[in-house]
């Protein structure tokens, strides 16, 4: 295993457990804050004197409000659908393109790689208006496809480049051995290189999924009907009422919009960590 | 060799991939001999490359080519919402360089990007090394680490806003009760302090992705190499520096690069937390371009602000591309 | 309100009007208008009306709007969708809709947006003039933000007015029986309050609402202005410097130091938490207090913006509805707005706002709701002193640009942060000249 070994328990505490606890604590504190806010009664939220770290009167009212006041369940479904499909599209394209750019010798490799990358450079704050024209031309405004097909514009470049990086870390010789054994170019790619790139595929997938899950501007502009909205748009645009924030439901929405995803990710992360260890050892 | 469990999944995906390929080449190939001819064709690297790149190029051309060109056109036009624009050459850029807010945003963008990226890399690497150990609750910790990155940015930033609030800041409450401060700290009340807070939130949000991606990279490092180095007498630091780092460098470079670009163009976080205030001291390109293009409806001027980043990003990318290619 | 009786009567009227509108279609197809009028609502089947509204600060207002829109849909046989978006996110939706020529048929217009988006908006002279004539004429502010050139580009809906919300109990403790009438008096009272740890609160950050509610009226009340009547930049004046000096002193003596970091929501929270004793805001603070913090509501009252050497001023937010030029349903949109702005429909909506908004015409000053809660009187009276951003210059795109760049707000914020008032005024002058071009 890659895990280093340690000497004394004391040394392990200093070099490992203390940093770990610090890191986890700092990372999760804001999260803890969201949890507390989401179960705290409104009256307490506005009390400066109250201890902000816990509440004696927890309530599920805000969760209830979230579902009552908004179409949260529907938004969650939309977000999931959009994120899954656009991630699948981007991974598929990115995997093939990343392999081609990293492994194959052809004249246009360098300029094409740069071009794919450049599309990632133009900020969405500039792109969304002309992109709106494209969306209109295809007649997909206010449908999930408006964002499913536009998200890949920034997901594909990332997936391509990340996977390019992974393909570089896989020794060329492994593939060459297979070819000597009689595998065709494509077979070598599919049977040898792709499986070795699984960690890269998963981390690109996680990245793409999260970006789709979070995306704000395109979803704001291309989706209109309340039943088409995604979680970030729906929660943010309907629960921020001018100068009054609905803190409880806002934070409840943030929690419900992230915990299930974290659980799924943890499964993937474990999976690719073991998969990979096996691959390198084997 | 690859893990048995993944093999079938990949084979399936690959067959899907393969099925795309014939479609793009089929025209020229006679029906009966297709498999062999196709096989032969795909043995040629440039043809295979074309086939593999096709889906990407199709999507990008369909969706981004026109907006991209139009975006550049906007930057050299006086376009405002609802009216056709006229070509004005570089006038928008001239206006920008004489605009104090723009110059401030320019400086902020670089400060924000470089400090945040450096911190994310350092902390993310640290986190990845820690998570690469075996310990109890490993799974749950790894899942928990990802949370900041999954919560929709606009919403987690609202939570931070509440934590930095002038009246309700939980940090102030804590520091006061511990007795470290007697007067509240106005986290977002001063340009420098507010910039620090923005960087903090950005790092908090972006670090997990660094950690997880680098963790994946660490996993590709063959432990035998470490053992060999250890036998040669290298200490942990040397092993990291000489063995691990060079091996995960390609991945690291890509992650850093993408993170930098995303941070350069960051918008949501600043938009929610400070909107560029107080007194325009925390504007970055993204937010300032948005104010001008959206709020003042001057699409041309806004586009020119967005595009001012372009040369810098391009330089970074050309360097990156050259670097990655060089390692061949 | 005599809602139920009113509504039924109304329905018939509305019905007639809607069918009247359809006569155009009917005549064209050769059917006499009268026959058409007797038939069920007569827009072609499948006609849709898409309305984009802000998320109102008063939830009941959205509910009522949605209800009325639904009612119109039934009467006119039109499929009505109402989309609500929080006010800060309306701009990108509007820009994108106009540029791609697709999207909602009616969009809410805030502040002086009709000037900003004039090229994408249909003329609505007919509807607006009709309302104005019927209801005693529009306020000047409303006219100024909605009329571009000589054409109405938005059908005025209401005005969002601010006033000082203040704690009567704390003000009494320092000897102020009512809200001070001049800035100097307020400063004296405020200083006493701050000493007692009850500062006043005012935002100087970047958000559309509150920071501007200080920057514009205070400048005006000291006699300063961004531009003169002809649009010439005159911000760098003795008067502006006085306003700046006053603000800096007021900041030190009276205000909560958090203000530089505040946005529109901060003063609401601070007031409800009892950390500030007064702040400029719409009635939303009071409404939330009535619902959730009755003890605070009881001791809350509202006061006018104080007078300065040049008088009393308010910066008032116009609200209206623009019909999009690209819309294929302009006729339906017009009928909807005409119907909605008619008294029987507007009345329940106005009542649902409970004093948060003023009607666009003087007629609504006489509404019964103003009698119900006397604490809201300053809101009713505010429009008399109301001006538009850029006053006394004509509203224009340039005005909007100055507003969205927060030039006045930042002028004050920088002075508060230590810049010399003279330098702050000079800075603002330079920035405004870039916008106005002279």
Query: Which CATH number characterizes residue C103's domain?
Result: 3.40.190.10
**How many domains in chain A?**
1
Identify whether C92 is part of a domain.
yes
Residues with Cβ within 8 Å of residue B30, at least 6 apart in sequence:
B37
The architecture CATH gives domain B94-326: Orthogonal Bundle (1.10)
pLDDT value of residue A82: 95
Least Cα distance to C288 among B320, B168, A219, A245 occurs for: A245
- Contact list in A for residue C210 (CB cut-off 8 A) is 243
Residue C295 has phi, psi (to 5 degrees) of: -65, -40
Reading the block at residue A164, the tokens are: 């390019």
pLDDT value of residue B3: 38
**How many domains in chain C?**
2
Which of residues C219 and B60 earns the better pLDDT score?
A: C219
What domain range includes position C208? Answer: 163-315+388-436
- State the DSSP string of B288-326: HHHIIIIIS--HHHHHHHHHTTHHHHHHHHHHHHHHHHH
Chain C nearest C-alpha distance from B320 (Å): 34
Identify whether A217 is part of a domain.
yes
Question: Residue A153: which of B1, B60, B133 has the nearest Cβ?
Answer: B60
Same domain for C180 and C228: yes
Identify whether C25 is part of a domain.
no
Distance, C-alpha C121 to centroid of its chain: 19
ipTM greater than cut 0.95:
no
Q: What chain A residue is nearest to B164 in terms of C-alpha separation?
A: A30
Long-range contacts of C247-250 (CB under 8 A, 24+ apart): C247/C214, C247/C218, C247/C412, C247/C415, C247/C416, C248/C415, C248/C416, C248/C421, C249/C187, C250/C183, C250/C186, C250/C187, C250/C190
List C-alpha distances in Å: B322 to B117, B318, C34: 21, 6, 78
Q: How confident is the model at residue A189 (pLDDT cuts 50, 70, 90)?
A: confident
pLDDT above 90: residue A41: no
Q: What chain B residue is nearest to A189 in terms of C-alpha separation?
A: B14
Q: What is the 3-state secondary structure (H, E, C) of C250-279?
A: HHHHHECHHHHHCCCCHHHHHHHHCCCCEE
Identify whether C111 is part of a domain.
yes
- Contact list in B for residue A4 (CB cut-off 8 A) is 133, 226, 236
Q: What chain C residue is nearest to B164 in terms of C-alpha separation?
A: C261
CB contact under 8 A, A224 and C52: yes
Buried b (16+ CB within 10 A) or exposed e, A244-264: bbbbbbbbbbbbbbbbebbee
pLDDT above 60: residue A152: yes
Q: How many helices (H) and strands (E) does chain A have?
A: 17, 2
Identify whether C24 is part of a domain.
no
Q: How confident is the model at residue A279 (pLDDT cuts 50, 70, 90)?
A: very low
Cis peptide before B278 (omega within 30 of 0): yes
Ranking A224-228, A274-278, C176-180 by mean pLDDT, the lowest is A274-278
Instruction: Evaluate whether B277 touches C205 at the Cβ level (below 8 Å).
Output: yes
Coil vs helix vs strand at A240 = strand
Q: What chain C residue is nearest to A220 in terms of C-alpha separation?
A: C93
Give the CA count within 13 Å in the CB-facing half-sphere of B200. Answer: 16
CB contact under 8 A, A127 and B64: yes
pLDDT, tens digit (0-9, with 9 covering 90-100), for B11-51 = 333 333 333 333 333 333 344 444 567 777 777 778 888 88
Same domain for C178 and C122: no
CB contact under 8 A, B295 and C404: yes
CB contact under 8 A, A118 and B317: yes
Which of A45, A123, A170, A185 to mutate: most B Cβ within 10 Å?
Answer: A123
Per-run averaged pLDDT (10 residues), chain C, 438 residues? 38 44 38 37 79 89 93 90 87 89 92 90 94 91 90 93 93 92 94 93 86 94 92 94 96 90 86 92 89 90 94 91 94 93 92 90 88 89 89 85 88 93 94 85
| Burial class of A165 by CB neighbour count within 10 A (0 to 12, 13 to 18, 19+) | buried
Instruction: Evaluate whether A117 touches B322 at the Cβ level (below 8 Å).
Output: no
- State the DSSP string of A221-236: HH--SGGG--HHHHHH
Same domain for C420 and C272: yes
Identify whether A44 is part of a domain.
no
Reading the block at residue B214, the tokens are: 């680098």
Which of B18, B155, B187, B283 to mutate: most A Cβ within 10 Å?
Answer: B155
In this structure, are strands C278-281 and C163-167 parallel, antiparallel, or unpaired?
A: antiparallel
Same domain for C95 and C186: no
Instruction: Evaluate whether C63 touches C99 at the Cβ level (below 8 Å).
Output: no
pLDDT above 60: residue A4: no
Q: How many CB atoms lie within 10 A of CB B87?
A: 11
Name the CA dihedral angle for B315, B317, B321, B324, rounded to a multiple of 10 degrees.
Answer: 110
Q: What chain C residue is nearest to B100 in terms of C-alpha separation?
A: C431
Coil vs helix vs strand at C6 = helix
Instruction: Evaluate whether C262 touches C205 at the Cβ level (below 8 Å).
Output: yes
Describe chain B by its helix, strand, coil percentages, rounded to 5: 75, 0, 25
- Contact list in A for residue C103 (CB cut-off 8 A) is 141, 224
Same domain for C393 and C356: no
Instruction: Evaluate whether C82 touches C65 at the Cβ level (below 8 Å).
Output: yes
Question: Residues 108 to 127 of C: which have CB under 8 A from any B CB?
Answer: 116-120
Identify whether A248 is part of a domain.
yes
Identify whether C58 is part of a domain.
yes
- State the DSSP string of C136-197: T-B-HHHHHHHEETTEE-SEEEEEE--EEEEEHHHHHHTT-SS--SBHHHHHHHHHHHHHTT
- Contact list in B for residue A125 (CB cut-off 8 A) is 265, 267, 286, 289-290, 293, 302, 306
Chain C nearest C-alpha distance from B14 (Å): 39
List C-alpha distances in Å: B286 to A125, B20, B107, B112, B308: 7, 38, 13, 12, 11
CB contact under 8 A, B278 and C413: yes
Q: How confident is the model at residue B326 (pLDDT cuts 50, 70, 90)?
A: low
pLDDT above 70: residue A280: no
Chain A nearest C-alpha distance from B222 (Å): 6
Cis peptide before C392 (omega within 30 of 0): yes
Same domain for C148 and C57: yes
Chain A nearest C-alpha distance from B196 (Å): 16
- Contact list in C for residue B295 (CB cut-off 8 A) is 91, 400, 404
Task: Please give the span between the terminal C-alpha atoms of chain C, in angstroms, as a whole number.
Answer: 53
Identify whether C20 is part of a domain.
no
Determine the Cα–Cα distance for residues C247 and C256; give it in Å rounded to an integer.
13
Beta-bridged to residue C324, according to DSSP, are C121
Distance, C-alpha A280 to centroid of its chain: 26
pLDDT value of residue B233: 81
Describe chain C by its helix, strand, coil percentages, rounded to 5: 55, 15, 30
- Contact list in B for residue A258 (CB cut-off 8 A) is 147, 150-152
Reading the block at residue A119, the tokens are: 């599309």
Q: How confident is the model at residue B10 (pLDDT cuts 50, 70, 90)?
A: very low
List C-alpha distances in Å: A196 to A172, A180, B168, C62: 12, 19, 50, 55
CATH of the domain at A196: 1.10.3720.10
Q: What is the mean pLDDT of chain A?
A: 82
Identify whether A134 is part of a domain.
yes
pLDDT, tens digit (0-9, with 9 covering 90-100), for A75-130 = 999 999 999 999 999 999 999 999 988 888 888 777 888 788 777 777 777 788 88
What domain range includes position A134? Answer: 88-281
Query: Angle formed by the axes of helices C343-353 and C59-76, to 10°?
Result: 160
Q: What is the mean pLDDT of chain B?
A: 80
């Amino acid at each position: 295993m890659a895990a280093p070994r340690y000497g004394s328990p004391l040394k392990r505490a200093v070099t490992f457990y203390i940093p770990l606890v610090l890191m986890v604590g700092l990372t999760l504190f804001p999260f803890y804050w969201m949890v507390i806010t989401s179960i705290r009664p409104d009256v307490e939220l506005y009390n400066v004197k109250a201890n902000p770290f816990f509440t004696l009167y927890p309530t599920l009212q805000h969760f209830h409000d979230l579902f009552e006041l908004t179409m949260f369940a529907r938004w969650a479904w939309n977000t999931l659908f959009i994120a899954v499909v656009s991630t699948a599209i981007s991974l598929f394209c990115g995997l093939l393109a990343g392999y081609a750019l990293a492994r194959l010798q052809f004249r246009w490799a360098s300029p094409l790689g740069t071009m794919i990358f450049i599309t990632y450079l133009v900020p969405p704050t500039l792109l969304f208006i002309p992109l709106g024209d494209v969306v209109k031309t295809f007649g997909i405004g206010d449908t999930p496809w408006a964002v499913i097909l536009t998200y890949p514009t920034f997901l594909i470049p990332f997936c391509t480049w990340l996977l390019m990086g992974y393909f570089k870390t896989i020794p060329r010789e492994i593939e060459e051995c297979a070819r000597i054994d009689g595998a065709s170019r494509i077979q070598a790619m599919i049977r040898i290189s792709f499986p070795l790139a699984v960690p890269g595929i998963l981390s690109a997938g996680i990245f793409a999924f999260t970006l789709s899950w979070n995306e704000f501007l395109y979803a704001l502009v291309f989706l209109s009907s309340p039943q088409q909205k995604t979680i970030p748009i729906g929660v943010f645009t309907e629960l921020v009422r001018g100068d009054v924030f609905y803190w409880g439901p806002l934070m409840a929405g943030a929690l419900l919009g992230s915990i299930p995803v974290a659980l799924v990710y943890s499964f993937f992360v474990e999976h690719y960590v073991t998969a990979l260890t096996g691959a390198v050892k084997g | 060799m690859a893990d048995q469990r993944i093999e079938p999944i990949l084979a399936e995906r690959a067959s899907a991939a393969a099925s795309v390929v014939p479609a793009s080449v089929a025209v020229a190939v006679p029906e009966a001999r297709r498999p062999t001819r196709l096989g032969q064709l795909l043995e040629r690297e440039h043809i295979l490359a074309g086939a593999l790149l096709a889906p990407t190029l199709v999507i990008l051309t369909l969706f981004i080519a026109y907006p991209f060109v139009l975006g550049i056109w906007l930057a050299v036009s006086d376009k405002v919402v609802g009216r056709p624009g006229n070509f004005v050459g570089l006038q928008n850029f001239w206006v920008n360089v004489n605009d104090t807010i723009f110059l401030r945003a320019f400086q902020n963008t670089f400060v924000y990007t470089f400090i945040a990226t450096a911190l994310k890399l350092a902390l993310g690497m640290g986190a990845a090394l820690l998570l690469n150990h075996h310990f109890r609750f490993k799974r749950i910790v790894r899942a928990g680490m990802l949370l900041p990155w999954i919560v929709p940015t606009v919403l987690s930033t609202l939570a931070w806003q509440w934590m930095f609030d002038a009246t309700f800041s939980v940090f102030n409450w804590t520091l006061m009760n511990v007795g470290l401060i007697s007067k509240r700290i106005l986290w977002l009340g001063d340009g420098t302090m507010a910039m620090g807070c923005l960087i903090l939130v950005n790092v908090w949000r972006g670090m997990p992705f660094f950690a997880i991606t680098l963790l994946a990279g660490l996993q590709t490092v063959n432990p035998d190499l470490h053992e060999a180095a250890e036998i040669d007498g290298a200490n942990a630091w040397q092993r990291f520096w000489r063995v691990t780092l060079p091996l995960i460098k390609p991945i690291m470079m890509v992650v850093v690069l993408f993170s930098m670009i995303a941070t350069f163009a960051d918008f949501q976080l600043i938009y929610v937390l400070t909107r560029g205030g107080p007194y325009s001291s925390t504007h970055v390109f993204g937010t300032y371009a948005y104010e001008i293009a959206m709020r003042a409806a001057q699409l041309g001027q806004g586009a020119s602000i967005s595009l001012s980043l372009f040369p810098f990003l391009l330089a970074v990318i050309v360097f990156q591309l050259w670097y990655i290619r060089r390692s061949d | 309100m005599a809602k139920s009786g009113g509504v039924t009567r109304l329905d018939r009227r509305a019905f007639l009007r809607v069918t009247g509108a359809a006569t155009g279609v009917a005549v064209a197809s050769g059917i006499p208008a009268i026959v058409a009028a007797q038939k069920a609502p007569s827009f072609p089947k499948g006609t849709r009306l898409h309305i984009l509204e802000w998320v109102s600060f008063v939830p009941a207002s959205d509910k009522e709007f949605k209800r009325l829109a639904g009612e119109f849909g039934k009467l006119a046989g039109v499929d009505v969708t109402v989309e609500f978006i929080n006010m800060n996110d309306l701009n990108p939706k509007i820009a994108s809709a106009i540029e791609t020529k697709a999207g909602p048929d009616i969009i809410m217009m805030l502040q002086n947006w009709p000037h900003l988006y004039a090229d994408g908006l249909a003329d609505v002279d007919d509807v607006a003039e009709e309302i104005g004539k019927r209801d005693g004429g529009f306020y000047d502010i409303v006219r100024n933000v909605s009329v571009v050139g000589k054409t109405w580009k938005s059908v005025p809906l209401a005005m969002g007015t601010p006033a000082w919300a203040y704690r009567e109990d704390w003000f009494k403790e320092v000897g102020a029986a009512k809200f001070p009438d001049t800035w100097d008096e307020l400063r004296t009272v405020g200083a006493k309050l701050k000493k007692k740890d009850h500062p006043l609160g005012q935002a100087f950050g970047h958000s559309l609402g509150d920071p501007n509610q200080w920057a514009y009226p205070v400048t005006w009340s000291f006699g300063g202005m961004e531009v003169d009547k002809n649009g010439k930049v005159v911000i760098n004046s003795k008067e502006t410097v006085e306003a700046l000096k006053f603000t800096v002193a007021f900041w030190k003596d009276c205000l909560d130091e958090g203000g530089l970091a505040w946005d529109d929501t901060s003063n609401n929270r601070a007031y409800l938490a009892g950390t500030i004793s007064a702040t400029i805001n719409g009635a939303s603070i009071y409404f939330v207090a009535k619902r959730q913090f009755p003890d605070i509501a009881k001791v809350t009252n509202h006061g006018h913006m104080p007078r300065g050497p040049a008088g009393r001023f308010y910066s008032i937010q116009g609200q209206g509805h623009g019909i999009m030029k690209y819309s294929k349903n302009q006729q339906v949109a017009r009928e909807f707005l005409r119907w909605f702005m008619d008294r029987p429909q507007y009345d329940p909506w106005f009542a649902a706002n409970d004093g948060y908004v003023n009607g666009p015409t003087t007629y609504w000053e006489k509404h019964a709701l103003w009698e119900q809660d006397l604490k809201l009187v300053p809101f009713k009276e505010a429009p008399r002193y109301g001006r538009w951003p850029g006053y006394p210059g004509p509203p224009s795109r340039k005005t909007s640009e100055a507003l969205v760049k927060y030039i006045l707000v930042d002028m004050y914020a920088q002075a508060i942060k230590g810049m010399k008032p003279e330098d702050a005024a000079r800075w603002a002058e330079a920035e405004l000249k870039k916008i106005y071009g002279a």
